[in-house]
Structure 1
Amino acid sequence: MEMMKDADIILIADVPFGQGNINTLMGIEDLKGAVYLHTSCLNRDFTAGMLKKCLDRIALQKKIIEIGDYDELLEMLKRNEDQNQLSD
């Protein structure tokens, strides 16, 4: 959590979620960064539904932007950067 506290972007990557790493999602809703979710991780949930519960809790506080692959994420970030440069 300490490493993510100042991040502008929080990526929930395409990794399997199990009892050993589900706790990494605890508290994300309180961080300032935008949350991106690689949707493939939803098919790799080995937490008996805890992953969905964590994501639902995060979604109550923050928008979760779903991505299907990392190229899509890079495109989104590039568009946002271009828009920010135009507005400056």
Structure 2
Amino acid sequence: MKPCQSCQAVIDEYILDKQLEALRDLTVDDFYVCADCTTIVADACVECGGGVYVPRSESDTPDYCPACRSDLISQTGQDPGWNCDAVST
């Protein structure tokens, strides 16, 4: 079991997996935060219309879900970042 990178609590994989149902092809192994330190915003991804993962410490909702961001990196070789208007380097 891995500790949450935010609060250091042990990650309850069952609870987090239930929250991640809105994100395609992702499991608890793709995250290092517990269910208490994250939230999922359904239908927010501009590419697939799926859910996005938002750490509770953040106030902005990302435009891309982790799966679409990964797909874009694979296709273009560039990281689009989490938001459409900014390209990370």
Q: Scaled by the length of structure 2, what TM-score is found?
A: 0.28
- Structure showing the higher strand proportion among its residues: 1
Q: Indicate the structure whose relative CO is greater, using CA pairs within 8 Å and at least 6 residues apart.
A: 1
- TM-score (structure 1 length as normaliser): 0.28
Please state which structure has a larger fraction of its residues in helix: 1
